[in-house]
Chains A and B, each alone.
Chain A
Amino acid sequence: MPRVLLIEDDREAANAITAELVERGYDVDWAADGIEGLDRARAADADIMIVDRLLPKLDGLTIVETIRQQRVRAPVLVLSALGAVDDRVEGLRAGGDDYLTKPFAIAELVARIEALLRRPAESRDTVLRVGPLELDLLSRTGKRGTRTIELLPREFRLLEYMMRRSDQLLTRTMLFEDVWKYKFVPNSNLVDVHMGRLRRKVDLPDEQTMIHNVRGEGFILRAPA
């Protein structure tokens, strides 16, 4: 059971996050201010930390910087009401691994925590495999079983990203930030349309669905049961 350290001073938000995470099988430890948060973080027994930027007594970024200096390696997700690109860069530079701007969907938070906990290992394999799906990174071709899949470059990149994170919920924002690497929020429809394209190539009507659309949350690539 992964242990989460949540450092957040807003009790209501903390309760909601805790309830959601506990329901999903996480063990949540909550600290309501900066000093307490830093003490618990130093104990270094959490698998992941969620740190709010604006905290009473000690600022969230200071906590992250301090524990990084003390070689606490657990991934940190920084939460903030400050959403500017510069704020984000600052948060990541302090040692955060991801940055989420308030208000956020709880599904987005969970998806990012899972992504951080299951960060894909730097694999040297040149062929990715998920169930019958195969992606050859050298020849840049895709196959499902024996069927060759013709992929446009953008579709290739999208599929590669998803295959490295199979069975994980990938939100639209995550996809847009990581696959397209743009920092602005596009028309929410945009990612869906691209995903729709890819889906039509990966899942033919007579095949079992591999790319699942989770309503209002994002997408999951899963090997057929």
Chain B
Amino acid sequence: MRPLEFARSLQIRRTLLLFGVLACAIALSFAIVYLQVKNDLIAVIDGAVTAEANRIAAAVPEQRIQMLEERLRQDPRRIKPGGLFDAEGRVLAGNIETLPPGLRIDGTPHDLSIVRHDAFGRERQDVRAASRALPTGETLVIGYVDENEQIAELIKRGLAFGLVPALCLALAAAALFSMQAQKQVEEVNARVQRIIAGDLRQRLPTQGTDEPLDKLAAIFNGMLDEIQELVQNLANVGDNIAHDLRTPLTRVRISLERALGDGKSLADLQAAVHQGIAGVDHATSIVTALLRIREIEQTRRVTGFGDVRLEALVRAVCDLYQPLAEEKNIKLSANIEAAVMARGDRDLLFEALANLVDNAVKYTPEGGHVGIALTRPTNGDAFIRVSDTGPGVPESERHLIMQRFYRSERSRHTKGLGLGLSLVAAIVKLHGLRFSLASGPGFVAEIAFPSSCISGFRPVEAGEPSQDGPTQLDLRAGATNQGGGDDTQHCARSL
């Protein structure tokens, strides 16, 4: 890191600012302490000099000199000068060299500059002093060195000795933090460069602390996980598209080639062409389904949502697939325990449910049973559950089957695009619903509608006449008024 860069670094600037504020605060508090101490000290000194002057002045003249000298003797620090001067200003006793000029002789304390002169030497001293004119014509001066300046000096020195090293320490710490941060940023940068270069497995270093940078790294890593999965999925999808398109295209090619080589009759050629068209249709349907999934995944059409009557939806899907199920001798029944209104796109929800039922009918062997149930056990989530008596899906493969193109190995021989559940997953995600798969004896797919998605609800009693108006729900032509009386059986009635 270059010095200039360092000086400009955010850490240093912040440290200096913080330090400046702290130093001001400390200096201010010291100043307050100083002023306080000064006032108190002066009051104490003033009291002392006044009392002393009064005491000596009150004594008999012969004792005054003695008392003064006693006072000087008890002052090893020589901070309590005193003097007794005669009317002409000559020194009678004490250690004050001359009667100071401008002395106000009124018995109250004043600031005074004197020259102390005794066996220890001669020294100018600033004192608080009380002076009294004695009845005998003499002048008594009692002083006490004003130590405030020294205290102020001490405080200044204290501040200097304290603050300067503190500033240095703070700057050093800031530099350290700054360098650490810089190092982290550089490390992040190095990793990010590798990620940009295409290595999506790279992750930012984290210590698992609450530090902002650490948290940021964790967030970033989460994002990378998602991106990596997406890219991985995309790559897989690309592979799968290639593979799944190759299969029908190969078949088309083979059948056309054979027709060209071995086609003896018009019937042979026509059969080959039909096979070819079927293969191309299959390839097209794969592309269409993929585009459809992408379209749904990219939709933000939540604004186009309306209230969808789930019981009507279930009946409509049941109605659509009833003949197909009967054709396979599969019993398809709807069990509607609640009338639920949910927010959503009716067409998309229908498509999702139709896909689930389509799958169920496809994978259930003849003589089996496919059930669609609409329930709302408590006043919480509502569920649409499609269950069948087919082979089910092993636990280990369940998360896979929602991926595009996946088809369980054991169902490869059954015709299908393997895209149905991906489509359902995309629609469910768009609606903010939950989709889960379970495998009991058969296969159970469940769409859960969280209560936040439910806009209306009414439990349905067994045998209650259906309230649904649209003809799609009616049982037979012209039976609009009769309605569908038996919710649980009407789908299976024609069996």
Report which A residues bind B (CB closer than 8 A). 83-86, 101, 103, 105, 139-142, 150-157, 180, 182-187, 189-190, 193-194, 196-197, 216
Contact = CB atoms under 8 A, between A and B. Distances in A.
A183 B347 contact: yes
Interface stretch (B23-31, B257-265, B288-296, B449-457): B288-296
A84 B477 contact: no
Contacts of A101: 288
Given A103-B284, A142-B477, A182-B350, A216 B323 contact: no
B321 A153 contact: no
Given A154-B319, A196-B323, A83 B476 contact: no
Given A103-B284, A151-B476, A185-B285, 7 more contacts: A84-B291, A86-B295, A139-B478, A151-B477, A153-B477, A183-B347, A216-B274
A150 B476 contact: yes
Interface residues of B, number: 32
Contacts of B291: 83-84
A183 B346 CA distance: 11
Query: Which one of B320, B354, B475 has the greatest number of beta carbons of chain A within 10 Å?
Result: B320
Given A83-B288, A184-B351, A189 B324 contact: yes
A141 B479 CA distance: 10
A142 B477 CA distance: 9
A141 B80 CA distance: 131
A196 B310 CA distance: 28
Contacts, number: 72
A153 B354 contact: no
Nearest to A198: B323
Contacts of B320: 154, 180, 186, 190
A153 B288 contact: no
Contact of B358 (A140, A187, A193): A187
Interface of B: 274, 277, 280-281, 284-285, 288, 291-292, 295, 319-321, 323-324, 327, 347, 350-351, 354, 358, 362, 471-472, 474-480, 494
Contacts of B475: 152-153
Contacts of A152: 475-477, 494
Contacts of A187: 324, 358, 362
B324 A153 contact: no
Contact of A157 (B277, B350, B471): B471
A141 B478 contact: yes
B323 A153 contact: no
- A101, A141, A157, A184: most-surrounded residue (chain B CB, <10 A): A184
10 contacts: A84-B295, A86-B295, A101-B288, A105-B281, A153-B474, A153-B477, A154-B319, A156-B477, A180-B320, A189-B324
A183 B288 CA distance: 12
Nearest to B416: A187
Contacts of A151: 476-477
B248 to A, nearest CB: 13
A186 B316 CA distance: 14
Nearest to A140: B478
B477 A193 contact: no
Q: Which of B321, B476, B479 has the most CB of A within 10 A?
A: B476
B277 A153 contact: no
Given A142-B477, A216-B274, A184 B292 contact: yes
